[in-house]
Amino acid sequence: MSTGSARRVVVVGSGLAGLYAALRLRRAAPGTAVTLITKGQLEDSNTWHAQGGIAAVLQGRGAAGHPAHQQGPDHDSADHDGDSVASHIADTLAAGSGSCVPAAVQVLCAEAARHIEALLALGTPFDRTAGGDLALGREAAHSASRILHAGGDATGAAVAVALIAAVRRDPGIAVLEDAFLTDLLTGRADAAVSGVEILRGGAMTTLDADAVILATGGAGQLFSHNTNPRVATGDGLAAAWRAGAVVKDLEFFQFHPTALDVPGNLLISEAVRGEGAVLLDGAGHRFMPDYHPAAELAPRDVISRSIALHLKDRGEERVYLDATGLGGQDFLATRFPSLHRLTAAHGFDWSTDPLPVVPAAHYWMGGIQTDLWGRTSLRGLYAVGEAACTGVHGANRLASNSLLEGLVFASRAVDALTGRNDDDGGWPAFPATALQFPDPTALEVCDRRTLQRVMTDHAAVTRSGAGLQVAAKQLDQFSAATESVEQRETGNLLIAARLLVHAAAAREESRGAHYRTDFPARNPHDGASHLTSYRRAQP
């Protein structure tokens, strides 16, 4: 496919990245026939469940020229316009533990403001002050208040509603719901991706395309405790791997430190700690200052790891998030209306009692490797959002940079696809290692709970070489069934699990979200090292 010649594009996934890519395609190239497929309904995505917000430096301006009002744990009268793109870049690099791609971080932070304006133009109802200015909150590891939120703690759903409405209004976007991606088509002579194979209504069919954009999200369902919806099963990553695409940084899986310890692992937003909530152990001791000077505002990897180590040391199963000092029911119900309702539904009054919380799998920093324009190692295949590894998150994602990444790099992928970028040199040939995993046919068929137990026991917040070896041996005994969508999803999780365990075993250090109890220190000489792999062809 020559640059800018795509006439038919398939977008896989209905989170923010997929929806925004489809809309940008229609505006950048109105003649393009866009098909957006999703295995559930358009609302079934990680985006819909995102609470905290979107990080962006607006250069001190809100919509319609209003100065943006800053909210955070320190409500002072300082010159809040002192925030800058350079500061956002520095915070992102610091959170990434030396493993970010600096050029990608520069792109992410510098292009943020214009995409926020695009969301506003689509009618996204970001929260505002009484004077009508955009309200900006503070979250962990950010040096300034720069987080836009909607509905207090329902940002993802608010953004998704606006994008879904725009997609449904566009007659040039064909939407196929309940369409499960089974594989990428790679039969062309030039080995380019030429479409997708999908399972819909019990029948297998193919969709030809000049380009495919994967926006299929992550794979939180790898772990027993996770904050992701059931659809997060790594389908795009697995399909890209089977097609031979390069994957990267799969050892870096972020665990959110504060999931409510109830069935379903309801996420308690980063913004709650941003407003001043603290973590207590079973004895009522505020323990985070013992582990990091930023305490509850430390990066997520630090807090999750500190909780895990503290629980192991004390022989306990959970810690507690104390929001009782934030202003009572009125404040909590106003600032966090969704959380206020949901905690009450589970029998908690968080205005008077601390909430029991545990770390839960939340976001995969690794994924299908892309360049700065969303291009993968396979011609005709692009990846955006959590399915991709752009390099912006490094070893640990900075809070509220995920939705932003989906916006920025979905737009850049469209620019590359339509010839609007200034770099048409093609995807650079990064070095990668060929891998081949066993493909047993007569062994135990993998079931979801068993796989999750293996990953939770040996490859979660803390890991060791011995535990990863056990996990690898157990995973090699599993095969995947294909009689149903759920079995296919579990097969995709099996691929994702094997890749994660392989990468985690290869990185013999601790860095960001990857913590090895047998190698607890960071290797100062290994910051630029990234494990990239592709699937070796069957003999």
Segment 84-96, tens digit of pLDDT: 999 999 999 999 9
Cα atoms in the 13 Å half-sphere on the side-chain side of 295: 12
Helix (H) or strand (E) holding 200: strand 195-200
User: Measured between alpha carbons, how far is 90 from 93 in angstroms, rounded to an integer?
Assistant: 5
Contact 53, 149 (CB under 8 A): yes
Q: Which residues of 261-391 form beta strands (DSSP E)?
A: 278-280, 319-322, 355-364, 367-369, 381-383, 388-389
Q: In the 8-state DSSP scheme, what is residue 388?
A: E
Q: Look at the block and give the residue holding tokens 């999200």.
A: 217
Contact 179, 205 (CB under 8 A): no
pTM: 0.91
Q: Look at the block and give the residue holding tokens 């929001």.
A: 323
300 among known catalytic residues: yes
pLDDT at 424: 58
Answer yes or no: is pLDDT of 525 > 50.
yes
pLDDT at 72: 44
Contact 139, 52 (CB under 8 A): yes
pLDDT at 171: 95
Q: Which domains does the chain have, with CATH numbers?
A: 258-360 (3.90.700.10), 432-535 (1.20.58.100)
Answer yes or no: is pLDDT of 31 > 70.
yes
pLDDT at 188: 64
Catalytic one among 300, 463, 498, 511? 300
Q: Which of 14, 13, 19 is nearest to 119 (CA)?
A: 19
Cα atoms in the 13 Å half-sphere on the side-chain side of 449: 0
Tell the burial category of 117 from Cβ atoms under 10 Å away from its Cβ (0-12, 13-18, 19+).
middle
Q: In the 8-state DSSP scheme, what is residue 222?
A: G
pLDDT at 539: 39
Answer yes or no: is pLDDT of 430 > 90.
no
Question: Which amino acid, 213?
Answer: I
pLDDT at 1: 40
pLDDT at 435: 84
Give the angle subtended at the CA of 516 by the CAs of 513 and 522, to the nearest 5°. 75
Cβ-based neighbour number of residue 202 at 10 Å: 7
User: Measured between alpha carbons, how far is 218 from 493 in angstroms, rounded to an integer?
Assistant: 10
Can you tell me the mean pLDDT for 71-79?
37
Strand 478-479 with 433-435, pairing? unpaired
Segment 448-483, tens digit of pLDDT: 999 999 999 999 999 999 999 999 999 999 998 999
User: Measured between alpha carbons, how far is 416 from 424 in angstroms, rounded to an integer?
Assistant: 7
Q: Which of 244, 57, 270 is nearest to 155 (CA)?
A: 270
